[in-house]
Amino acid sequence: MRIAIVSDIHGNLLALEAVIADLRLQSPDIVLQGGDLPYGGCQAAEVMDRVAELGWPGVVGNTDEVLWNTNGLARLMAEAPKLRPLLQIIVRCALATKNLIGDSRLKKLQTLPMQIRQQELVLLHASPGDLWKSPMDSSDEEALERVYRPLNAQTVVYGHIHRPFIKKLSGFTVCNSGSVGMPYDGDPRASYLLLTDGQPEIRRVEYDIEAENSRLLASDYPYKEWFAEVRTRGAYVAPPEKEDSDYLRRSEE
C-alpha cells in the first residue's frame, strides 16, 4: 500500500499543483493532508477548494486553528516572549486569511481532527494534544520517543516544522513530511512524504517559485514580501518589524 502525506501548503497553489502532478506519477492508494492549508498565501481559498475537490482526509494545523481559536497562540506568547513579534504577525495574517476563505471554508477547517490513524500510521500536525509545539529535526531519539511512542503506531508522521526527516527508532519510525508551500530546510522545492508498504521516502518537487511570488506580491496579503523571501530561500528568515514594500528588494542586495 502507498500512502502520501502532503502538509503545510500555506496557501501556495502552484506548489500544491506541482505536488499533485507528482502524485499522479506515484499513484498512492491514499493521500492525507497534514494541516496548515490556507494561511500564508494569497490563494488560500483556491488551495482549500483544490484539496476538497481531491477528497484528501486530513488533520488540523496550528495556523488553521488560529483562524478561530487564539488560545494556543496566547499560551506560546506567554511561554516564549521573544517570539511575540512573529506571533503578532500571525494574528494579522490570520485575519487576512480568514477573510480570503470565508465562513463556509472556515467551518470545514473546524471539523478536522487533531490526528488520523491509517492502519499502522498516525498522522498529526505537531505533537499529541498540542498544535503549536513539536520536536525539531535536530531532536535526539529520547525526545522523539517521549513525544510519539505513546501513540502506539509503527509510523508517526507530523509536519509543523517545515523540515523533512526520517528517523528509525526502536520499534517505530518518526517522519516529518516537510512543507509543500514553505520549506525551511534550505531547499525551496515542495516537500511531501510517500510510504510504500510502510517504507518512507521524502519527495522533493520543483515548482515555479517566481510565478508564485509574482502572484503573492501583486496581492494585498500582509507581509507578502517576507513570505516571498522565505519561499525563495526555502528557509526561515526573521520577519521585518513592520511591513515594507522595499523589504524583499533590500534583502536580496
Task: Write the pLDDT tens digit of every residue in 72-105.
Answer: 888 888 888 887 778 888 999 999 999 999 999 9
Residue 249 has pLDDT above 80, yes or no: no
Query: Taking residues 160-173, what's their average pLDDT?
Result: 97
**94: CB partners within 8 A, 6+ apart:** 39, 63, 66, 67
pTM given for the model = 0.93
Can you give the residue range of the structural domain that contains 244? Answer: 2-251
- Name the average pLDDT for the chain: 94
For residue 114, give every residue at least 6 positions away whose Cβ sits within 8 Å of its Cβ, in sequence order, or none. 59, 60, 124, 125, 128, 129, 131
CATH number at residue 203: 3.60.21.10
- State the total domains in the chain: 1
Residue tagged 516529518 (cell numbers): 176
What digits encode the pLDDT tens for the residues 53-68? 999 999 999 999 999 9
